[in-house]
Amino acid sequence: MAHIKTIEGQLDAKGLKVAIVASRFNDFIVDRLVGGAVDALTRHGASREDLTLVRIPGAFEMPLVAQKLAASKKFDGIVCVGAVIRGATPHFDFVANECAKGLAQVSMEHGIPLGFGVLTTDNLEQAIERAGSKAGNKGVDAAMAMLETARVLAQL
């Protein structure tokens, strides 16, 4: 293909201040996602002192907390990690939908890159698969997506 002007984000997290918002609900899954996000960011140059972990009750509370973090302007990006599991959640759809919708709104309103690492699965096995086993670690993916987006936004 002919050369065209291309803008893309370098995966360099050096100097980036990042808030990681993690729900306590299903914490044995979520802790793996937090670990993945921290690992991904520090391996790409972020310093631990620039990372702040915010623990909250559940995925439903995530948008409000992300909104406050974004409004504080103390962070270059936010990574949200949680696990909403249908099998154990009669109100799965409400929690999952409100969480995703609210976080997208925060990202747009504040122009802040937000990595969405909230698992929404039918059962526990699928959640385990995405928390550091055969389907990877969605905390890693969310952190990397936030990082790439932050570096793209800085050039626009």
Closer to ligand INI by CB, 82 or 150: give it.
82
Q: Assess contact for 85 and 97: CB atoms under 8 A.
A: no
Closer to ligand INI by CB, 34 or 85: give it.
85
**Which residues pair with residue 83 across a beta bridge?**
119
Please identify the residue of the shown chain whose CB is closest to the bound ligand INI: 58
Does 85 engage in binding with ligand INI (CB under 6 A)? yes
Question: Judged by CB under 6 A, which of 58, 124, 126, 153 binds ligand INI?
Answer: 58
For residue 101, the one-letter residue type is K
91 in active site: yes
| Shortest distance, position 103 Cβ to ligand INI, whole Å | 13
Does 78 engage in binding with ligand INI (CB under 6 A)? no
Computed on alpha carbons and rounded to an integer, the radius of gyration of the chain in Å comes to 15
Residue 59: DSSP 8-state: G
Q: Using CA atoms, how far apart are residues 106 and 23, in angstroms rounded to an integer? A: 17
Q: Using CA atoms, how far apart are residues 63 and 99, in angstroms rounded to an integer? A: 6
Does 21 engage in binding with ligand INI (CB under 6 A)? no
The residues assigned a catalytic role are 91
